[in-house]
């Protein structure tokens, strides 16, 4: 029984990601691009569709569609937009749990600091298929695609 608990528990360790990037862009432009949920499909790797489902004064609910490892996935998240933060929590999707947060800070007139951190738990199958290196690579590709899109807006 103890071995079964330890085996089950070992797959339930949350993973964490974090990245920080300083960009020579106006704070409002950076925040606006990150806050626009419908832009996500243009820079998140594998995301084929991003759609805002609901918007009110307290939060937004969005849906992302992905194709990954010959399967289609859909993620619905609740996003809370604050003055310089966007808090994200998965409502429904392939993760056992997912909570993330964008922090956007104005350093000076045209220098903005972008920080993203998340903690998530993958189902056993995906957890075994995705080493840390693959997740880090995904984050780097996402950040570079976002910065490329930002420079074109």
CATH of residue 80's domain is 3.30.530.20
Residue 106 belongs to domain spanning: 15-152
Report the C-alpha gap between 14 and 119 in whole angstroms.
6
Count structural domains, the chain: 1
Residue 5, in any domain of the structure: no
What is the value of pTM for the model shown? Answer: 0.82
Residue 116, in any domain of the structure: yes
pLDDT tens for each residue of 92-135: 998 899 999 999 999 887 899 999 999 999 887 667 667 778 77
Alpha-carbon torsion 38, 139, 141, 134, what sign? negative
- Give alpha helix (H) positions in 61-131: 124-129
* pLDDT band per the 50, 70, 90 thresholds, residue 67: confident
Q: How many residues does the chain have?
A: 153
**Sequence-distant (≥ 6) Cβ neighbours of residue 138 within 8 angstroms:** 45
pLDDT tens for each residue of 9-60: 445 678 888 989 999 999 999 999 999 989 889 888 888 999 999 999 999 9
Average model confidence (pLDDT) for the chain? 85
Report the C-alpha gap between 54 and 35 in whole angstroms.
14
């Amino acid at each position: 029984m103890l071995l079964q608990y330890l085996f089950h528990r070992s797959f339930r360790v949350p993973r964490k990601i974090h990245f920080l990037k300083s960009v020579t862009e106006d704070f409002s432009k950076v925040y606006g691009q990150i806050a626009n949920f419908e832009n996500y499909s243009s820079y998140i790797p594998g995301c084929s569709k991003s759609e805002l489902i609901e918007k009110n004064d307290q939060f937004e609910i969005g849906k992302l569609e992905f194709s990954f490892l010959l399967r289609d996935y859909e993620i619905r998240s609740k996003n809370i937009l604050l003055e310089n933060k966007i808090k994200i929590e998965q409502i429904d999707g392939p993760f056992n749990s997912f909570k993330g947060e964008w922090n956007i800070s104005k350093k000076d007139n045209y220098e903005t600091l972008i920080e993203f951190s998340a903690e998530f738990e993958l189902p056993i199958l995906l957890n075994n298929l995705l080493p840390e290196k693959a997740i880090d690579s995904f984050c780097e590709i996402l950040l570079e695609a976002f910065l490329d899109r930002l420079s074109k807006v």
